[in-house]
Amino acid sequence: MTDIDKKLSEFFNKQERVKLAYLFGSTAKGKAGGLSDIDIAVFLDESLSRKERLDLQLKLISELAGVLNTDKVDLVVMNDAPISLQYEIIKANHPLLIRNESKRIDLEHRILSRYLDRRYYEKRWAAGFLRKVAEKGI
């Protein structure tokens, strides 16, 4: 466990409305450079409204900047993120906090299913588009 992992795990453990937290991006891969930000994702209590989630996101970003001694923090609220981003987050497989393992499994299963369903249709559309471009030009 890295120093960042430890700090983030301790921080999120105190945040009752955060149900899951993940590290992703270059920091999770151990490839962060001087210009890299720290990509963090959280899944918040589902009873929170969209406005409450946004307010909490802003509060968490501010507090994380202090905990990590940097303003290069990017915090994604998974409840509101596009499915492709949710997939990238779980693909990194770097959880920082899991309050309920069965809920984590259910969430990751739901994300994976939706992503794979969407990916199938995106590939079909792209293949059709490229075929038309090849036949008729741009």
Per-residue pLDDT at 46: 97
CATH architecture type of domain 3-136: 2-Layer Sandwich (3.30)
Task: Supply the mean pLDDT for the chain.
Answer: 94
Nearest-CA neighbor of 63 among 95, 21, 33, 101?
21
Percent over 70 (pLDDT), the chain? 100
Per-residue pLDDT at 70: 95
Beta bridge partners of 86: none
Whole-angstrom Cα distance, residue 6 to residue 11?
A: 9
pTM exceeds 0.75, yes or no: yes
pLDDT digits (tens, 9 = 90+) for 61-86: 999 999 999 999 999 999 999 999 99
**CB contact at 8 A, 9 and 20:** no
- Band of residue 122 on the pLDDT scale cut at 50, 70, 90: confident
39 three-class SS: strand
Whole-angstrom Cα distance, residue 28 to residue 56?
A: 23
Per-residue pLDDT at 55: 98
Per-residue pLDDT at 71: 94
Residue 118 has pLDDT above 90, yes or no: no
